[in-house]
């Protein structure tokens, strides 16, 4: 149905020509699901864009042929190509969060596609078809009348699928359709996509970097690296007998619950004098957070219900806080960092109430509590070179004096996270890869030798292959530097391996808490079970979830979770979670 022959895509750059895609041969049968997997820059998205004829200048297809059925895509006029898009091939771009026009209702964004491909269609017919498309992706018809900002991330992604499938194309290309979604939403969205694809009988190209997702969703797999396909075949064969070392590395980089840890099993050393006094390092005393709610507006939004815990800190620990987006986990993180004030209760650091600290105390606090954030692209000032970004905290806290010493400390910090200072230090953030930036963020936090590090989704935006090495960096912090870490994530598999204690948050309440082997290895609370069932396993023989329908299973477990009392698992020394009355 789709045949790509000897495709080459070139991008001219200052130093010559970059072959973003080189000699790619792919043939996809009708109704088949094919995965393109590889890290960023491997050419998977570029190949898809070549099929759409949407490669941005100055890049161009320098060689090859793309056949869609009998149609030679590369020979079409631009008007013929326009008519081919959506009607015959639809493309759901990366970042569905922002793929919808913010000033148009969802239904209008379905209509314009219909009208521009089929000519004038009566209003009632348009309405009927948009409602059908919206209901076809499992959303209520009233969503069609809403604007994008009124929808959640998962709903927006489904609306994009509704738009892309409204004209029943022969081929759907979905570019990382779930990369910004939590596991529960991811499973529902993928089910929606597969159902829609089966209903119209089209082929599907799924682009991604998560081997687990691939194992659950596709029939065939193309593993891409540096613009070339390094391995291809039926998904089952690839998982059974991966031939290329890169494929093996990709499969191994997916953390799984239970089994061998991808991290070295070193017992934590005692803290090297990180903690002072007898008071716990970090303490939450009946802390809750309500957003909004003023004199005129309605009742505020409770992000976090009262929670109390004490992290002793004499032995460094990694505490994981897991949950869906909107579960209150990031709110908890920002309360720890003192970015937000608790609505009720007291947050104490080494026994002192953070809310009543004086200016200079707050400054000291910043040194002791550092953060690593989710978005490695937004965390650095684009106008500062790495050197400046790294040396600023050193100067601010007076840790190092003199240019030579500062340079030395910066270099040390880079080496500490496996970066070559000579190649990094003089560059601007945009010249670095996402993984390098994320490591730099760890390096910057580490330079101040903090006592506590709050890492909010530190690996959710980097490739699977980098994920393990960044987590390894974090893990080392605990062992080598005796730093306690609060790891906020929606990825239960990594939480299982790195943490000493896990707190599962559900709609602002603690659902389940305890040692990871118990909470994640043998979940008792329906919500924890739902989270774990939603993880796509890198195992073709293991079914995704326990029920064939993700929607039904989610609804059932969510309903159970709402009434279920919190589950306390056995205690872990060094961390006390008290139930707030």
Partner 1 sequence: MYLIYLTKRLVMLFLVVVTAATLNFFIPRLSDKSPVLEKITEMSESSAPGSVNMQELLVIFNERFGLDKPLLQQYFDYLGDMLTLDLNYSITSYPTRVADMILAALPWTLGLMVTSTLIAFLVGSVLGALTVWRKDLKLLQFFVPVVMVFSAIPFYLIGLILIYFVAYRGGYFPIGGGYSLTAFPAWDWEFASDVLYHSILPGTSIVIASIGIWALGMRGMMVTVQGEDYMNFAEAKGLKSRRVFLRYAVRNAVLPQVTQLALFMGQLVTGAILVEIVFGYPGMGSLLLQAVDYLDYYTIYGIVFVLILAVAVSMLILDLIYPLLDPRTRHHRA
Instruction: Provide the binding-site residues for partner 1, judged by CB under 8 A.
Output: 52, 54, 81-87, 90-104, 112-113, 116-117, 147, 149, 160, 163, 296, 298
Parallel, antiparallel, or unpaired: how do β-strands 452-456 and 369-372 relate? parallel
Between 53 and 367, CB nearer to partner 1: 53
Provide, rounded to whole angstroms, the least separation between the CB of residue 175 and partner 1.
Answer: 10
Between 94 and 249, CB nearer to partner 1: 94
In the numeric block, which tokens belong to residue 473? 């960096």
For 280, 438, 460, 529, the CA distances from 374, given in Å and listed in that order, are 27, 8, 7, 25
Between 4 and 271, CB nearer to partner 1: 4
Query: What is the H or E stretch that residue 112 is in?
Result: helix 106-118
- With vertex at residue 150, the alpha carbon angle to CA 148 and CA 151, rounded to the nearest 5 degrees, is 70
CA 100 – CA 156 distance, rounded (Å) = 8
Between 161 and 513, CB nearer to partner 1: 161
Residue with tokens 């590090």: 453
Provide, rounded to whole angstroms, the least separation between the CB of residue 147 and partner 1.
Answer: 4
In the numeric block, which tokens belong to residue 452? 């506590």
Instruction: Give the residue ranges of DSSP H helices in 325-451.
Output: 329-336, 359-368, 386-396, 403-416, 421-424, 434-447
Between 84 and 327, CB nearer to partner 1: 84
Provide, rounded to whole angstroms, the least separation between the CB of residue 66 and partner 1.
Answer: 16
Closest CA to 196 of 57, 317, 31: 31
Between 114 and 502, CB nearer to partner 1: 114
Provide, rounded to whole angstroms, the least separation between the CB of residue 92 and partner 1.
Answer: 8
Provide, rounded to whole angstroms, the least separation between the CB of residue 305 and partner 1.
Answer: 24
Provide, rounded to whole angstroms, the least separation between the CB of residue 74 and partner 1.
Answer: 16
Provide, rounded to whole angstroms, the least separation between the CB of residue 188 and partner 1.
Answer: 21
Provide, rounded to whole angstroms, the least separation between the CB of residue 71 and partner 1.
Answer: 14
Residue with tokens 């945009």: 430
Between 92 and 251, CB nearer to partner 1: 92
In the numeric block, which tokens belong to residue 424? 């990094």
Chain CA centroid to CA 194, Å:
21
Parallel, antiparallel, or unpaired: how do β-strands 575-578 and 301-311 relate? antiparallel
Closest CA to 321 of 134, 527, 132, 487: 487
Between 168 and 480, CB nearer to partner 1: 168
CA 90 – CA 129 distance, rounded (Å) = 17
Between 169 and 208, CB nearer to partner 1: 169
Peptide bond into 123 cis (omega under 30): no
Provide, rounded to whole angstroms, the least separation between the CB of residue 101 and partner 1.
Answer: 5
């Amino acid at each position: 149905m789709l045949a790509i022959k000897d495709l080459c895509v070139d991008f001219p750059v200052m130093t010559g020509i970059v072959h973003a895609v080189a000699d790619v041969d792919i043939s996809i049968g009708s109704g088949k699901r094919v995965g393109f997997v590889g890290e960023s820059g491997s050419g998977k998205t570029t190949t898809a864009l070549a099929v759409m004829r949407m490669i941005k200048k100055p890049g161009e297809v320098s060689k090859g042929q793309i056949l869609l059925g009998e149609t030679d895509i590369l020979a079409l006029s631009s008007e013929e190509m326009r008519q081919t898009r959506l009607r015959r091939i639809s493309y759901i771009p990366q970042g569905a969060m922002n793929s919808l026009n913010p000033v148009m209702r969802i239904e209008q964004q379905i209509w314009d596609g219909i009208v521009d491909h089929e000519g004038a269609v009566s209003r009632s017919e348009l309405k009927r078809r948009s409602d059908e498309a919206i209901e076809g992706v499992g959303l209520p018809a009233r969503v069609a009348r809403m604007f994008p900002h009124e929808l959640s991330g998962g709903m927006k992604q489904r609306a994009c699928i509704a738009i892309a499938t409204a004209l029943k194309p022969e081929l759907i290309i979905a570019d990382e359709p779930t990369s910004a979604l939590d596991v529960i939403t991811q499973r529902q969205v993928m089910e929606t996509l597969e159902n829609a694809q089966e209903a119209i009988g089209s082929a599907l190209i799924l682009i991604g970097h998560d081997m687990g997702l691939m194992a659950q969703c596709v029939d065939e797999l193309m593993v891409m690296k540096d613009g070339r396909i390094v391995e291809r075949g039926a998904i089952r064969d690839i998982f059974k007998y991966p031939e290329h070392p890169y494929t093996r590395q990709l499969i191994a980089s997916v953390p799984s619950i239970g089994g061998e840890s991808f991290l070295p099993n070193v017992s934590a050393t005692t803290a090297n004098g990180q903690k002072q006094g007898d008071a716990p390092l970090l303490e939450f005393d009946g802390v809750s957070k309500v957003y909004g709610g003023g004199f005129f507006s309605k009742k505020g939004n409770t992000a976090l219900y009262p929670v109390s815990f004490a992290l002793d800190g004499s032995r460094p620990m990694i505490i994981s806080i897991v949950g869906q987006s909107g579960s209150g986990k990031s709110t908890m993180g920002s309360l720890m960092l003192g970015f937000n004030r608790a609505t009720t209760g007291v947050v104490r650091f080494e026994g002192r109430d953070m809310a009543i600290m004086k200016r200079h105390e707050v400054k000291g606090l910043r040194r002791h509590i550092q953060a690593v954030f989710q978005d490695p692209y937004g965390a650095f000032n684009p106008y500062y070179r790495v050197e400046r970004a790294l040396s600023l905290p050193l100067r601010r806290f007076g840790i190092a004096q003199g240019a030579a010493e500062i340079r030395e400390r910066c270099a040390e910090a880079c080496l500490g996270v496996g970066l070559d200072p000579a190649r990094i230090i003089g560059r601007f953030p945009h010249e670095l890869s996402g993984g390098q930036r994320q490591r730099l963020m760890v390096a910057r936090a580490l330079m101040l030798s903090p006592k506590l590090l709050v890492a909010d989704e530190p690996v959710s935006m980097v490739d699977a292959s980098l994920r393990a090495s960044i987590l390894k960096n974090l893990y080392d912090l605990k062992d080598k530097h005796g730093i306690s870490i609060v790891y906020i994530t929606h990825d239960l598999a990594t939480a299982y391996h790195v943490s000493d204690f896990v707190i599962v948050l559900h709609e602002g309440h603690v659902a389940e808490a305890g040692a990871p082997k118990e909470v994640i290895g043998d979940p008792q609370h329906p919500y924890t079970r739902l989270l774990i069932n939603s993880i796509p396993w890198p195992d073709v023989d293991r079914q995704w979830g326990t029920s064939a329908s993700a929607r039904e299973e989610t609804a059932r477990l969510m309903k159970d979770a709402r009434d279920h009392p919190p589950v306390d698992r056995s205690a872990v020394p060094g961390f006390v979670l008290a139930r707030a009355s």
